[in-house]
Amino acid sequence: MKTLTIREAREGLSHPDQMFAGNDEVLVVCRGEPVARILPVVPKRKIRSLAAFRAKQKLQTIPSEVLIREDRDSRDFSL
């Protein structure tokens, strides 16, 4: 972790790519007390395509109304 004073941070902000390159975390201090913590950006996860997801799914061979009817017929409604 790199530690900078407020003055160093202010002077270095004109070139943030050089100032923060290669550091996981930068702590900015004022009179020895931490005032800010600068963290690297976490890259966003790629979202899969819905079309690609649907293409991988198996197609249902039996119509849903047949499955529903079989399920309802198999239930015991006598209490």
23 has pLDDT over 80: no
Please name the residues in contact with 6: beta carbons below 8 A apart, sequence gap of 6 or more: 28, 29, 30, 35
The whole-number pLDDT of residue 79 equals 62
Q: What is the pLDDT of residues 43-79, one digit of tens each?
A: 888 888 999 998 999 988 999 999 999 999 998 776 6
Residue 73: its H or E element: helix 64-74
Classify residue 20: in a domain, yes or no.
yes
Classify residue 13: in a domain, yes or no.
yes
The whole-number pLDDT of residue 44 equals 83
Classify residue 10: in a domain, yes or no.
yes
Classify residue 57: in a domain, yes or no.
no
Find, among 22, 20, 15, the residue nearest to 4 by Cα: 20
Classify residue 60: in a domain, yes or no.
no
Classify residue 64: in a domain, yes or no.
no
Classify residue 58: in a domain, yes or no.
no
Range of the domain at 18: 2-38
Give the total number of structural domains in the chain: 1
Classify residue 72: in a domain, yes or no.
no
**The token pair that represents 78 in the structure block:** 């006598």
